[in-house]
Amino acid sequence: MKKILFTICLIMMGHYTIQSQNCSKMEDWVNESEGYGANAKNRRMDDRGYAQVYALAVHDENFVPVFGKSFTKMGLKEKQKLLKKMMQCFGDRYWVKNGFAYMFYGPHNGQDPWYDVAVAVNSKSLEELKKERQLAKKQQEEALAQRQKWRQEQQRRQRVAREAAQVRQIQRQKQDDPDRRVNTASDYAREASEVAYLLKPVQNNNAPAYDFSKYAMGDFLQTIYDGNFEGFPYGLRDMQSQNLDMGLKKTALLKKRSAFAYLYLDYFSTHCAKPNKENYKEFRSQYKYTDTDQMGFKTETIGKATHYYLKPQFYNDFVRMDGNYAADQGLGAIFLLDSMGDIFTNFPNDLNKLFSELDCENPVVKQLETNLVLASKGKSPLQKLVKHLK
């Protein structure tokens, strides 16, 4: 207030003129005014944009003590003289020649945004306006922080989604490959409920470790006995049509396992069950054959019936395998993917060796036969399923 009164006195005394202003006094105003646009650096603005950013520079409390008169009361000639003086003092200052200079040009196309801004800012005190700007700046910073936080959260979610998609892709690749498949606890629980009839007879079997290295097909038998294989909880339905090669690989693998299980149960029926057939469940297998001669005449022949004696838990699966084994004779080419010759040459000798050393109801035998049937169904081994049996 004292500064304003002092300025008014100078004007009244006739000593306050444009020429009497020195550059150092105007420099204080320039320095303070530049601070209002600290956040607007490097922005391309027109005259109205500059006026809005540096509006407080033309508030009477800032302007009058330096220039001796309110900006709203200055005429065009006074402004032009001030512009000339300012350019003499600060023509090399960026914001002077590219911003503040505009306020002294006067109206452009009949409009004077600096005059309109000066009228608006003088409706409130400078202190009130500074508080409003500080509040607006704080709100902008909070809004910016919220946007940054939102973007970071979106980026985090996208990253998590990408990582989850990669995990699912890797898991699908494992699920498609019978040699790499790794099932989850829920998969095992589902399988256990589906094959409970196979698991319950051996849930307390407690078979010891057994070395099959002395057998001709020791690697295969060891893998089956130890349960080092994974099942397909959805069966052949999880063979995707677009992955024909993997579907054939799974089919060949299951057919080969099924052939081993079929020959094992056939051998067991003859050498273990038949002498005590009253303790087992009988299955009568008989097929009708149709022959066509050169003239096109067809003759139907009913083959000789074969009687099998099975443990009750294996009965339905053996019936399934017997039917598939007969029906699949025409599909033998699929086994080119996984040779079957060892089944008919080495496996019978291995079975003779197995039952010459172990009793038919030995825990080792029970574990081997159960895992053979599970493997033929595309299921996981009993070692992984028993713990999920309810």
CB burial of residue 45 (10 Å; 0-12, 13-18, 19+): middle
pLDDT at 15: 40
Whether residue 72 contacts residue 122, with contact meaning beta carbons closer than 8 Å, is answered with: yes
Per-residue pLDDT of the chain (390 residues; tens, 9 = 90+): 444 444 444 444 434 444 446 788 888 888 888 888 776 655 567 778 888 888 888 999 999 998 889 999 999 898 888 888 888 888 888 778 777 877 887 776 677 888 998 999 999 888 888 888 888 888 888 888 899 999 999 999 999 989 888 887 776 666 556 566 678 898 899 999 999 999 999 999 999 999 999 999 999 999 999 999 988 765 555 554 445 666 677 777 888 888 899 999 999 999 999 999 999 999 999 877 677 777 777 777 777 889 999 999 999 999 988 887 666 554 444 444 445 557 778 899 999 999 999 999 999 999 999 999 999 998 999 999 999 998
User: Domain locations in the chain?
Assistant: 2-123, 177-388
- Tell me the pTM: 0.53
Residues ≥6 apart with Cβ < 8 Å to 10:
16, 68
pLDDT confidence of residue 5 = 44
Helices 23-36 & 76-90 angle (0-180, nearest 10): 90
Question: Which pLDDT score, from 0 to 100, does residue 273 have?
Answer: 95
Residue-level pLDDT at 188: 92
Q: Which CA distances in Å does 300 have to 103, 145, 222, 304?
A: 112, 86, 44, 13
d(CA 239, CA 232): 9
Which residue in this structure is represented by tokens 């105003």? 29
From residue 85, alpha-carbon distances to 20, 78, 114, 386 in Å are 10, 11, 19, 97
